[in-house]
Amino acid sequence: MSSSALSSLRREWMLLVAYVTTALFLIFGKSWLHDLSNPLWFTLMLVWLLAVITAAAFAVVHHAESLAVRLGEPLGTLVLTLAVIGIEVMMISAVMLTGEGKPALARDAMFGVVMIVLNGMVGLALLLGGLRHHEQEYNLRGANSFLSLIVPLTVLGLVLPNFTEASPGPTLSGFQSAFMVVMSISIYVIFLIIQNWRHREYFVRPVGGQAIAVAEADHGETNSLTYHGTLLVMYLLPIVFLSEEIALPIDHGIEVLHAPAALGGFLVAALILSPESLSATRAALANDLQRSINILLGSVLASIGLTIPAVLTIGLVTHKTVVLGLDPANTLLLILTLAVSALTFTRDRTNVLMGAVHLLLFLAYVMLLFEH
């Protein structure tokens, strides 16, 4: 093995930490997490799990970005998006299969992703990018393509269940769930074909725009696609298991602090999206807004298009209730967010004002979490 290969492997020390942690919780997890009443023990378990999951998630994004550099746009960004949203889907699915009494977890997590990305992350990227570059250019047709799917899928998944009468409460019947599964997967597959083959030019930087490859500057190593792809999968595996374990400390903390139940979904979404937020913000600061938009809007679309089929399928197979419909206040905030997003991306240039408006909506979402 060459010295450069050995040096690369030494940099992956976090992989060893992740697998050791996984092994320890696999053996001792039930006893360690059985009684979290001691504040020091609770803090130790929560911080330990949170640190390892976050570090592994950042490693996933690092290798996904390295793949993105080599694959080019928009396929490279798609790899990053699917890697991060894959973590979300696996975390939610794992908690649903092993946990109890969390029928609204998927709804809260998906709504959290939409609010964090479309308001918080988009707002931050546009604000910081606007402050540095005044106005930024992107491909309008690509953003509109994302939104043309995000709007109907989000409304059908998170609003429509409140108005159906085939099943009690904000849920879908078995037939409606099956329809949503097939429809969501089919439309997302069609979108992937459009994005990567038929209309690939919609999702690349406009001709004549200032093209600065952020990832290429930050990922100078020369490792192969196989190297990064293998490590990406290896980092994903412990995240899936540890996500089941961290659900117990999070639930205990919410119960002790008498915090709102929806805070759990917000924390799951924030944990997953933190490394992706960094990548999108770096791109905007380097005046590569096209990559930032591909990451952000692609994350929302993948989250809705893949999480809904996953949780509904689990509900159908295990006969567990899946609550998807939002309450009136959050429904109004969702519709307002979608409307503002549509207005933001009606021009092919953005500025600071647009970013500030999205951040305002994000703060409104955080406020409603604690004072509904």
Query: What integer is the mean pLDDT of 75-97?
Result: 74
Asked whether 359 and 123 are in contact (CB, 8 A), the reply is yes
**pLDDT value of position 124:** 92
Lowest mean pLDDT among 113-127, 262-276, 327-341: 262-276
**pLDDT value of position 223:** 65
Burial class of residue 220 (count of CB atoms within 10 Å of its CB; 0-12, 13-18, 19+): exposed
Specify the higher pLDDT residue, 96 or 21: 21
**pLDDT value of position 216:** 47
The tens digit of pLDDT for each residue in 263-301 reads 776 776 777 777 777 778 888 888 888 888 888 898 889
Query: What integer is the mean pLDDT of 95-107?
Result: 71
* CA 115/CA 334 separation, integer angstroms: 8
pLDDT band of residue 302 (cuts 50, 70, 90) is: confident
Q: How many other β-carbons are positioned within 10 Å of the β-carbon of residue 58?
A: 16
Longest dimension (CA), the chain: 65
Q: Could you give the domains of the chain? A: 3-370 (1.20.1420.30)
Query: What integer is the mean pLDDT of 116-126?
Result: 92
Which run of H or of E encompasses 80? helix 75-98
**pLDDT value of position 56:** 86
Residue 212 above 60 pLDDT?
no
Asked whether 336 and 361 are in contact (CB, 8 A), the reply is yes
**DSSP conformation class of 206:** P
Q: Which among 202, 188, 77, 198 is positioned nearest to 138, based on CA atoms?
A: 202
Percent residues over pLDDT 70 in the chain: 90
**pLDDT value of position 211:** 44
**pLDDT value of position 210:** 43
Residue 215 above 50 pLDDT?
no
Lowest mean pLDDT among 73-82, 193-202, 309-318, 359-368: 73-82
The tens digit of pLDDT for each residue in 19-72 reads 999 999 999 888 898 888 888 999 999 899 989 988 887 887 788 778 777 777
* CA 106/CA 116 separation, integer angstroms: 15
Which run of H or of E encompasses 322? none
Specify the higher pLDDT residue, 102 or 287: 287
pLDDT band of residue 73 (cuts 50, 70, 90) is: low
pLDDT band of residue 222 (cuts 50, 70, 90) is: low
Specify the higher pLDDT residue, 348 or 210: 348
The DSSP-derived string for 6-32 is HHHHHTTHHHHHHHHHHHHHHHHHHHH
Specify the higher pLDDT residue, 366 or 9: 366
Residue 227 above 90 pLDDT?
no
Specify the higher pLDDT residue, 255 or 372: 255
Specify the higher pLDDT residue, 172 or 9: 172
The tens digit of pLDDT for each residue in 149-189 reads 999 999 999 999 999 888 888 888 889 999 999 999 999 99
Mean predicted lDDT score pLDDT of the chain: 82
